Structure formats: structure tokens, C-alpha cells
Structure 1
Amino acid sequence: MAKVTLPAAADTSAATVKVWDPVVRLFHWTIVTGVVLNLWVFEHGKYAHRLTGYVVVAALATRLVWGIVGTRHARFSDFFPTPRRVITHVYALWRGEDARQLGHSALGALMMLALMAVLTGLGLTGWMMGLDAFWGVKWVEDLHGLLANSVMALAILHVAAAVIESVRHGENLPWAMITGRKRALGAHDADIAD
């Protein structure tokens, strides 16, 4: 008698859903590229440095608009890190009970907004240094340098957190930012951290 095998139940852990739309992904990788390029071009020419800064500022402006009118997980209202969300997330992390989420976690949202704010300040001070009114003004140059160092520190922290969270939740977050897809939510995951 032939052995009959029934199809296995669907593995929900393998199912993926679209989370990051093309605008969010393009913004993310434009910023990554801009930061990396400015590390190199800072030593190799002011024009390239300035041009890269303008591209980053244009990407920031686009992302701000997209944060209001974009897809669900792109909208600031979906992930804005209210004090309640941040405190809840920190306590859950402390207890080792934080649930995997499709969009940004509260601390991930804080990181994103901090990077956006510092990059905005970096673009503003860079632009100011090209104006006659601020040409050679030391505090503008010093602030620009401080903000550049802050971007690097935040970027390193961001990469470290992405790697740690990828391992903790068994999901390759950098790959998700390339494909736009993440593993569908399971029973122990959260749709939003409230």
C-alpha cells in the first residue's frame, strides 16, 4: 500500500508582508550613501561634499512629506515615540518581553527622528557656512562638526541595534530594508507598541 502524506500546515513564520515602501527604502539608502560618501568626500573636495549634503537634505524633505501622506508604516502617526510607547518598550526590553513589530519600535522611532533632526541641523549649518553672513563664523563651523560626529555616533548605534534586534527576533532587518518585506506577525508579536 502506498504511503499517503498530507501537506504540512502552512508555516506562518515563513510568510512575509510588505512593510517598507519604495520611498522609505530609497530614503534610508540615500542617507546611508550620503553619510558614507561624505566621510570620503570630506577629504576629497568641497563641491562633492556640498552636493552630497544637498541630496541628503532633499531626501529628508521628501521623507518629512511622506511621513504625513505615505503608506501606513511610513507615517509618523504609526510610530511616533510618545512617552507612553517609549516607557512601555523600555520596560518590555528590560524584562526581555518586547514583542517583534512590523514597523518601527518606540526606540527605533526615537533613533530615526534623532538622526533626521541631526541631519537637518547638519544641512542647515552646512548651508549657513556658505553664506556671506556666516562665512568663517567659528560657532557655525564647530556646530557643523559636532553634528557630523553625532551622525556618526548615531549611525553606529543604529547599525548595532539593527544587528542585535535581527538576532534577538530572528529576522534580518537590513535585508527587510532592501526588500521591503518582513516576516508576518505571529502570536507573540505586536502590531504597535502602545
Structure 2
Amino acid sequence: MARFPVWDPFIRLFHWSLVLLFAANSFVIDPDSALHAPIGYAIVALIALRLVWGLIGSPYARFSSFPISQSAILSQIRDIALSRRAAHCGHSPLGSVMICNLLFCILALGGSGYLASLSGGAVFPWAEDLHEFLVAWVQFSIVIHIGAVFFESRRIGVDLIRAMMTGFKEIPRYRAKE
């Protein structure tokens, strides 16, 4: 096994804080509660910090390390279809697409929530519908993300959840891909 230091402390703190705050706002806190908006603002602030860290952070945290290209995505899909077990040190191509989807949509969710709150929704009457749609889309994306993490962990033989907790990916040497 090769042990790769992949997720720095900021990434892990960001990830698990986002999980807790989003789960609280989606499933615990009532949308009409006085806590809903401050938690939403905290989520937006977290993502703003993550965007900065994506430019200046550790190597695997940088967006420049996200392998988002048609050829990389098709290569990963081929690997899955052909049962090839190559593991990526950082995010996989499909994982990179999901992370960008979640970051963008959660920012849009925060923006639509803010717009919906202006004058009780009178200024931008469409914002509440957009906000509710984005909540559903982000929740759906999270379910897909969690399912993909379990699927990929099993498929490639790398405990991705442990990696997000410890910061290290343990990858069989013959399976590692940059």
C-alpha cells in the first residue's frame, strides 16, 4: 500500500462542517426559524473560504488538480465499465464534477435564500421557488455523492471515508493514478 497525504486539515474541517451545517439547515432547523439564515450565511462563508483555498491551498485542494475534461471523465467511465480498479490520488474526474456541482449549487442556494428573504419575498418572488428547487437538487446530489463514495471505495479498494477523516489515502501501489 502506498499512503498519500491528500486532504489537508482545512479540507477535512470544511467538508465535515459543511456536512453538519447543511444537514442542520435541511433536516433539523425549520426554514422559518431565526437560525436558518445565519446557518445559510455560515455555509456560504465556508464555501467562499473553500474557493480561496482552491486557488492557494495544498496540491490536491487546488482546483487546478481537478481532472475535469471530457477525456478524463470518459476514461473513468471506461474504467468503471471494464472493472478496472485504478484509484486517483486526489479527486477522480467524476468526483471533481460532483464537487464543482455541489459548490456552485450550494452558493446559488445561499444566494436564492438571501433574495427570497428580501421584503418577505416581495422583491424577487421567484427566488423562493428557485431556493426550494436548489434544496432538492443539492440533497439529490448529496445522495449521489454518498452512494458514489461507497461504490468507488468498494470498486477501487480504497477507504475514501477514512481518507476524508485522516487526510491520507491508502492505495495499492499498482492502482495509483495521478
Q: Same fold (TM over 0.5)?
A: yes
User: How large is the RMSD of aligned CA atoms in angstroms?
Assistant: 1.8
In structure 2, distance between residues paired with 1:84 and 1:167: 24
CA shift at 1:163, angstroms?
A: 0.7
- Using a 3 Å threshold, how does the CA distance of structure 1 residues 132 and 74 change in structure 2: closer, same or farther? same
Tell me which residue corresponds to 1:47. 34
CA shift at 1:101, angstroms?
A: 1.1
CA shift at 1:96, angstroms?
A: 1.7
Does 2:50 correspond to 1:63? yes
Contact 1:21–1:71 (CA under 8 A) maintained in structure 2: yes
Structure 1 runs (4+) greater than 6 angstroms displaced: none
Does 2:112 correspond to 1:112? no
Contact 1:79–1:106 (CA under 8 A) maintained in structure 2: yes
Does 2:29 correspond to 1:32? no
Moved more, 51-60 or 92-101: 92-101
Tell me which residue corresponds to 2:129. 142
- Using a 3 Å threshold, how does the CA distance of structure 1 residues 174 and 135 change in structure 2: closer, same or farther? farther
More helix by share: 2
Does 2:84 correspond to 1:77? no
CA shift at 1:40, angstroms?
A: 3.2
CA shift at 1:172, angstroms?
A: 1.7
Which string of whole-angstrom CA distances, capped at 9 and with x for unpartnered residues, describes residues 139-169 of structure 1?
1110000000011100001011111111112
Which string of whole-angstrom CA distances, capped at 9 and with x for unpartnered residues, describes residues 61-113 of structure 1?
00101001111000001114122211222222222225111100000000000
What is the SS of the residue equivalent to 2:112? helix
What is the SS of the residue equivalent to 1:187? helix
Q: 5+ unaligned residues in a row in structure 1: which ranges?
A: 1-12
In structure 2, distance between residues paired with 1:121 and 1:158: 18
Q: 5+ unaligned residues in a row in structure 2: which ranges?
A: none
Tell me which residue corresponds to 1:16. 3
Moved more, 168-177 or 89-98: 89-98
Length-normalised TM-score, structure 2 = 0.92
Which string of whole-angstrom CA distances, capped at 9 and with x for unpartnered residues, describes residues 162-193 of structure 1?
111111122221111111011145123211xx
What is the SS of the residue equivalent to 1:46? coil
Moved more, 40-49 or 61-70: 40-49
Q: Give the number of the structure whose alpha-carbon radius of gyration is greater.
A: 1
Contact 1:25–1:178 (CA under 8 A) maintained in structure 2: yes
Tell me how many residue pairs correspond in the alignment. Answer: 178
